[in-house]
């Protein structure tokens, strides 16, 4: 006979698998729902929350810490408060002060990325904030930010697959590849980025996303080559291009913005961005290296193309435009923004390549001059068309990021050919340092606000 009170009720276990690791901030919970008080007359915590949300949204779309802080300062000054902020890759800690009151909060983002379309909308929001702060309430401003946050991507996964295919195909030609390498790189990168985009939508973790995306791209390239060798008896001399099929994964945006942050002494953000970029590069190059070992593909040099100099320059202009347009689409730039970045980049990139080939100038110097040219052109064009500078400068020089150098460094070091690996690693470091430095010097020359310390 069962004793009364001895049985214990069974408790349901919490479903941790469906819970988000990073809890969302309910910004509206701090705002008074029924108030129509203008934002400049709101309570400190409501003002501070608005400042923090603008900063966190800008950080989420990939802009530099200097731009995040600058935007938060503009909003704070308009609201009649002062703010201090410490910015990382996915976190910001800020304190807002008004008279003898202060409000401190830490915001943690679940991940980071690049979205130049949202970046543009947020830049417009900040520029127009001063005019509207005496009319709009904090609730109305949050509703505007809700709409920006809810903006969907401009392109479907298949469109991004095509964009990466065209970008990496153009990259292949600029690196010296022929028609067959271009076609195979187009197929590999297109399939790889299409798969990667679906993994991003399913919120697959970063490292697994990179591994699967790169492995898919390399396998698609190798499979295309082997199929053509079997069907058309194609000569087995097209192995080198498989490196180009994985270049869509190289994180040029955080590499360059990280350098800009270091130049402005935002050391925490700069170091974290570069660490994030190096993590992706390391995993991607190691995945490509393992794939190469499995399929016995070697990163040989491309055969020299028999093209006259005038024709080569024209083809480089076209390839640079196509490549930059494709990368801009991958950053979610709208078509006009992608067009402007491509026009800027095709001039600066061809200048870089011609200086290297015709005058035998080292790649670090030509990369600096190419980035400097992009920065100066973007300063002129950006003011006339009203686009945020970073949304057209960084995409215009991403095609200059030495993805092949990075891969060859990892490949030869992996084979214990340390001397050759370090040689390629040295070339990589010189170019990676030169690119943000070129943009920084251009910004110093054309922007007095950036030029001064405070």
For 177-191, write each residue's pLDDT tens digit: 888 889 999 999 999
User: Which of 406, 397, 418 is CA-nearest to residue 347?
Assistant: 397
Q: Check residues 389 and 165 and name the one with the higher pLDDT.
A: 165
Residues in contact with 202: Cβ distance below 8 Å, sequence separation at least 6, in sequence order: none
Q: Mean of the pLDDT values across residues 236-245?
A: 78
pLDDT value, residue 11: 54
pLDDT(16) > 50:
no
Residues in contact with 346: Cβ distance below 8 Å, sequence separation at least 6, in sequence order: 317, 318, 320, 321, 324
pLDDT value, residue 330: 94
Confidence class for position 34, pLDDT limits 50, 70, 90: low
pLDDT(450) > 90:
no
How many Å apart are CA 96 and CA 76, to the nearest integer?
A: 8
Rounded alpha-carbon distances, angstroms, from residue 454 to 356, 394, 423, 449 = 38, 24, 40, 8
For the CA atoms of the chain, what is the radius of gyration?
25
Confidence class for position 291, pLDDT limits 50, 70, 90: confident
Q: Check residues 168 and 30 and name the one with the higher pLDDT.
A: 168
Confidence class for position 74, pLDDT limits 50, 70, 90: very high
pLDDT value, residue 231: 84
Least confident of 21-35, 97-111, 174-188, 376-390: 21-35
How many Å apart are CA 343 and CA 341, to the nearest integer?
A: 6
Least confident of 30-44, 107-121, 414-428: 30-44
pLDDT value, residue 361: 92
pLDDT of 423-448, one tens digit each? 999 999 999 999 999 999 999 998 88
Q: Mean of the pLDDT values across residues 353-377?
A: 93
Q: Check residues 36 and 314 and name the one with the higher pLDDT.
A: 314
pLDDT(17) > 80:
no
Percent of the chain's residues with pLDDT above 90 = 56
> Mean pLDDT for the chain?
88
pLDDT value, residue 10: 54
Confidence class for position 242, pLDDT limits 50, 70, 90: confident
Domain extents in the chain: 21-149, 157-451
Q: Mean of the pLDDT values across residues 324-349?
A: 94
Strands of the 101-108 sheet, one edge to the other: 82-87, 91-98, 101-108
Per-residue buried b or exposed e for 334-354, using 16+ beta carbons within 10 Å of the residue's own CB:
beebbbbbbbbbbbbbbbbbb
pLDDT(280) > 90:
yes
The reported pTM is 0.90
pLDDT value, residue 2: 44
Q: Mean of the pLDDT values across residues 12-37?
A: 67
pLDDT value, residue 391: 85
β-pairing verdict for 91-98 and 101-108:
antiparallel
Least confident of 32-41, 104-113, 127-136, 185-194: 32-41
Q: Mean of the pLDDT values across residues 187-213?
A: 92
Q: Mean of the pLDDT values across residues 120-139?
A: 91
The burial of 192, by beta-carbon neighbours within 10 Å (0-12 exposed, 13-18 middle, 19 or more buried), is given as: buried
The half-sphere exposure of 378 on its side-chain side, counting CA atoms within 13 A, is 33
């Amino acid at each position: 006979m069962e004793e009364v009170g001895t049985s214990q009720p069974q408790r349901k276990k919490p479903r941790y698998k469906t819970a988000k690791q990073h809890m969302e901030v309910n910004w509206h919970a701090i705002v008074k729902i029924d108030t129509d008080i203008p934002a400049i007359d709101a309570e400190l915590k409501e003002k501070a929350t608005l400042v923090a949300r603008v900063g966190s949204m800008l950080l989420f779309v990939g802009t530099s810490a200097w731009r995040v802080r600058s935007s938060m300062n503009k909003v704070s000054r308009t609201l009649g408060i002062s703010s201090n902020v410490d910015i990382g890759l996915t976190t910001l800690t800020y304190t807002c002060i008004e008279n003898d009151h202060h409000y401190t909060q830490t915001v943690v983002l679940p991940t980071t990325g690049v979205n130049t379309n949202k970046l543009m909308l947020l830049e417009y929001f900040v520029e127009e904030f001063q005019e509207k702060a005496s009319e709009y309430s904090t609730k109305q401003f949050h509703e505007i930010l809700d709409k920006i946050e809810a903006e969907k991507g401009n392109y479907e996964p298949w469109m991004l697959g095509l964009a990466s295919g065209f970008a990496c195909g153009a990259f292949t030609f600029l690196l010296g590849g022929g028609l067959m390498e271009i076609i195979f790189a187009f197929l590999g990168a297109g399939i790889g980025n299409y798969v990667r985009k679906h993994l991003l939508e399913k919120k697959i973790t970063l490292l697994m996303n990179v591994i699967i995306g790169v492995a898919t791209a390399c396998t698609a390239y190798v499979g295309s080559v082997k199929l053509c060798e079997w069907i058309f008896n194609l000569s087995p001399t097209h192995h080198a291009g498989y490196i180009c099929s994985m270049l869509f994964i190289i994180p040029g945006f955080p590499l360059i913005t990280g350098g800009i942050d270091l130049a402005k002494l935002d050391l925490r953000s700069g170091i974290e961005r570069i660490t994030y970029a190096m993590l992706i590069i390391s995993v991607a190059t190691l995945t490509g290296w393992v794939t190469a070992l499995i399929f016995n593909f070697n990163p040989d040099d491309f055969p020299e193309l028999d093209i006259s100099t005038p024709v080569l320059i024209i083809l480089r202009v076209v390839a640079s435009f196509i490549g930059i347009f494709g990368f801009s689409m991958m950053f979610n730039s709208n078509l006009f923004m992608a067009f402007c970045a491509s026009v800027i980049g095709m001039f600066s990139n061809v200048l870089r390549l011609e200086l290297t080939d015709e005058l035998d100038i080292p790649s670090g110097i030509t990369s600096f001059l190419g980035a400097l040219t992009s920065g100066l052109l973007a300063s002129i064009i950006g003011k006339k068309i009203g686009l945020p500078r970073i949304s057209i400068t960084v995409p215009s020089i991403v095609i200059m990021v030495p993805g092949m150098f990075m891969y060859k460094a990892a490949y030869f070091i992996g084979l214990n050919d340390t001397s050759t690996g370090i040689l390629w690693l040295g070339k990589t470091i010189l170019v990676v340092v030169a690119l943000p430095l070129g943009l920084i010097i251009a910004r110093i020359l054309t922007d007095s606000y950036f030029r001064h310390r405070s």
